[in-house]
Amino acid sequence: MIRYPNGKTYQSKQTNGGMSHQKSIYSNRGMTLEEDLNETNEFYRIHGIAVVHKKPTPVQIVNVDYPKRSAAVIKEAYFKQASTTDYNGVYKGRYLDFEAKETKNKTSFPLQNFHEHQIDHMKQVVKQNGICFVILMFSTLQEIYLFEAKFLFPYWDQITTGGRKSIPKTDVEKQGHFIQFGLHPRIDYIKIIDKLYF
């Protein structure tokens, strides 16, 4: 261990250097949107801000082996399509529900990223007065937006009448809310929700 004259270790200085760490996250994050949201939700839970979890991947279990003296092993199972969005939880008593998607596109967000049953679920949640939105990430641009479900529905519904199959980036910017990447939490969506609903 290398020590400076003031007694601080070389290592602790490096990890304390917020700026350089932040820089490396911003320039080449190497994180997935899911990991960022998991970290964010954990931050919210630890600090008593909100309780939000990602739902487990739904799996249809067909065959399970129960070996003696060890854990059950699932030997055959299939991925099922989820009937809801991926994330839900509670903030100040209100129900939160959202889906997170990313695109490499730079000028629009493709709606094929969503499934009919997810949109149906979001419509049910909005009717029940839940707070429902999507987190849209333009991964090439490294930009993230919170986009309320009520603004998503018209774009989705126009597809059936022959309309375009994506949301123009300019519309995402106008109707959505830009979320600045942070260190802790990484994607502070509650800040936006707080402004919009409380």
User: Rounded to whole angstroms, how far apart are CA atoms 131 and 196?
Assistant: 10
Rounded to the nearest 10 degrees, the angle between the axes of helix 116-127 and helix 149-159 is 140
Q: Which is nearer to its own copies, 31 or 59 (CB)?
A: 59
Q: Which is nearer to its own copies, 83 or 112 (CB)?
A: 83
Per CB under 8 A, 51 contacts its own copies: yes
Per CB under 8 A, 166 contacts its own copies: no
Tokens of 58: 């739904």
CB atoms closer than 10 angstroms to residue 147: 21
Contact positions with its own copies (CB under 8 A) in 106-135 = 121, 124-125, 127-130
Give the count of residues interacting with its own copies (CB under 8 A).
41
Q: How far is the CB of 51 from its own copies (least distance, A)?
A: 5
Q: Cite the annotated binding site for Mg(2+) by residue number.
A: 84, 86, 99, 118
Q: How far is the CB of 37 from its own copies (least distance, A)?
A: 15
Strand ranges in the chain using DSSP code E only, listed in sequence order: 51-54, 59-65, 73-79, 87-91, 94-103, 108-110, 131-138, 143-148, 166-168, 177-179
Is the separation of the CB atoms in 72 and 80 below 8 Å?
Answer: no
Q: Which is nearer to its own copies, 77 or 183 (CB)?
A: 77
* Largest interatomic CA distance in the chain: 72
Per CB under 8 A, 42 contacts its own copies: no
Per CB under 8 A, 196 contacts its own copies: no
User: Rounded to whole angstroms, how far apart are CA atoms 198 and 194?
Assistant: 5
Is the separation of the CB atoms in 10 and 1 below 8 Å?
Answer: yes
End-to-end CA distance of the chain: 49
Contact positions with its own copies (CB under 8 A) in 61-100 = 61, 71-80, 82-84, 88-97
DSSP H or E stretch at residue 167: strand 166-168
Q: Which of 6, 27, 28, 57 binds its own copies (CB under 8 A)?
A: 57
Per CB under 8 A, 50 contacts its own copies: yes
Residues near its own copies (CB under 8 A): 45, 48, 50-51, 53, 55-59, 61, 71-80, 82-84, 88-97, 121, 124-125, 127-130
